[in-house]
Amino acid sequence: MKHLKKIMSLILTAIMVIAMCVPVMAATVTIDGTSEGGVLQNHTFAAYQIFSGDQSTENNKVVLSNIDWGSGIDGDKFLDDLKGDTTYGSKFTNASTADSLAKVLGANANDSAFAKFVAKTAYKNKKGAGTSIAAGSANNLSAGYYLIVDTTTLLDGQAANSALLQVVGDVHIQVKTDVPKVEKKVLENTKYAKDGGYGSGYNDVADYNIGDMVSFHLIGTVPDMSAYETYYYQFKDTLGTQFDMPDTNKIKVYLSEDKKVDTTDEDVTDKFDITVDSSKPIFYVTAKNEDIKTWADKSYIIVEYSAKLNANAAIGQPGQENKVDLTYTNNPDTNGHGKTKEDKVIVFTYELDTKKIGDGDANKTLAGAEFKLKNADGKWVKVDNNSKVKEWVDNEVDGSTLISDSDGIFKIIGLDSGKYTLKETKAPSGYNLPSSPANEFAVELTATTANGQNWSEVAAEAYTDLSVKLNNQPGTVDSSKGTATVTVSNEKGSTLPETGGIGTTIFYVVGVVLMLGAGVLLITKRRMSAKH
């Protein structure tokens, strides 16, 4: 069983200790650790004193006596809220003072869920600004029991949590955060076969025909949610108007141990709500909290869907960028939300222009030539009134007839990189069909794309070049525009003899020969009759 997930604790996960010992002298608190792989130099904290008291020594242990409410808590409201809780309220029945509450906390210090509840309630009832604590350096605090709060204005990709902490001597706190991350991948259907850890063909860049269904994966990590009572987890996928909105009934969600979908993954689609904004198009996949909270032992949530590349698609650059981000709960005390950095993929499509000329003369353009186009799968293209690809059909007769215009040009807009066959079905008036076998021409359209997992999100670095060949002879291209041009030439038909010319002479000669032949035959028959 592959477990790629690294279970990390949330910031200052509600630490409670059994003993209420405190040092005679003031202590220092140092907060250090990592957030998204970096030291928490950009985080700020505040310490709110919950309990204060007199220090003394009993049996060689430093204890806190005469416990009273600290300067950072509204004690009466704090105690009322603790008693009013339907889950834990009964534990506080006999607590009426700070000292009696401290005894309850000490007696239940091994219950982590209880500790989180108390920390959250203390956060709700804190007062004042607290004592500022800077991350990465020692901070002086008088002895006591404190609520430590992350006061950072959280940026996207960050999380925070408060905690109850007893200051016992010099305290060093190692802080780590665990926030979800998200990636988007697109399936390259012909040019990319390697499995880069995402499933065969799934990467950052692809090219397709207009009208094709394009497959995507959204991949979110599952964070440690143990400090949260509820957890919000929402994919936001922005396709753009170049794609039709996917059929929401066909959007699937899987719980997986790795970044690809296979038959061992659990289908958890019913544990998510799927909503759409068709005008963008944008759709949202939102987890139902009661389900996602149980998934700490899994690594990834994968959303799988397909969307049609439509006639709004840009040809060549800049392609069709589309993206995903993930909104999640980042503070259990405030139910605040954070958002991940967007992750993008890009899809390209291209144009094939065919120029029809006569007698090999590039300046002699021919109108009225008729063609059909077949792909490598033996299907024939159908285009709309703007020459954009609509679909591919099985029978030649159902494919579109492509006719050269007055400039000798016909276009097919929205083609995938790949191999095709052009078949000329009717020559222009006065010209013969080409002598190519079956009047067919091999066309190879080749786009150079960066089919990997580390695309820079710069379109010009995803698709860099285009080339085209007709029967292995190179055509011309405009790579940026995504257009490729090939030229097909026709030869004139044979000219028949005119009346009064050599044609008439030939008929005369043939006629004389036939008459002479008839005369010889008649004479021969008469001689044979005389002999008998």
Cβ–Cβ < 8 Å for 364, 346: no
Query: Max Cα separation, the chain?
Result: 165
Instruction: Sort strands 418-426 and 409-415 into parallel, antiparallel or unpaired.
Output: unpaired
Cβ–Cβ < 8 Å for 247, 290: no
pTM for this entry: 0.74
pLDDT at 17 (0 to 100): 31
Query: Could you tell me how far CA 94 lies from the centroid of its own chain?
Result: 56
pLDDT at 79 (0 to 100): 95
Element (H, E) at 300: strand 300-308
Please, what is the end-to-end C-alpha distance for the chain in angstroms?
114
**Residue in the structure block whose two tokens are 């191999």:** 419
Beta bridge partners of 221: 300
pLDDT per position in the chain (532 positions), as tens?
333 333 233 333 333 332 233 333 456 677 765 554 444 556 678 889 998 877 666 666 656 678 899 999 999 999 999 999 999 999 999 999 999 998 898 888 788 778 878 888 888 899 998 888 777 777 777 777 888 887 766 555 555 555 555 454 556 666 555 678 999 999 999 888 778 899 999 999 999 999 999 999 999 998 877 667 788 999 999 999 999 999 999 999 999 999 999 999 999 999 999 999 877 889 999 998 777 877 876 789 999 999 999 999 999 999 999 999 999 988 766 667 888 999 999 999 999 999 999 999 999 999 999 999 999 999 999 999 999 999 999 999 999 999 999 999 999 999 999 999 999 999 999 999 987 677 899 999 999 999 999 999 999 999 999 999 999 999 999 999 999 999 999 888 654 455 555 555 555 555 555 565 655 555 556 555 555 5
**Which residue, 468, 243, 475, 485, is CA-closest to 354?**
485
pLDDT at 96 (0 to 100): 94
Beta bridge partners of 436: none
Tell me how long the chain is: 532
Q: Residue 286 CB: number of other CB atoms within 10 A?
A: 16
pLDDT at 56 (0 to 100): 65
User: Nearest 5°: CA angle at 510, between 505 and 512?
Assistant: 95
Cβ–Cβ < 8 Å for 97, 82: no
Alpha carbons within 13 A on the beta-carbon side of 382? 12
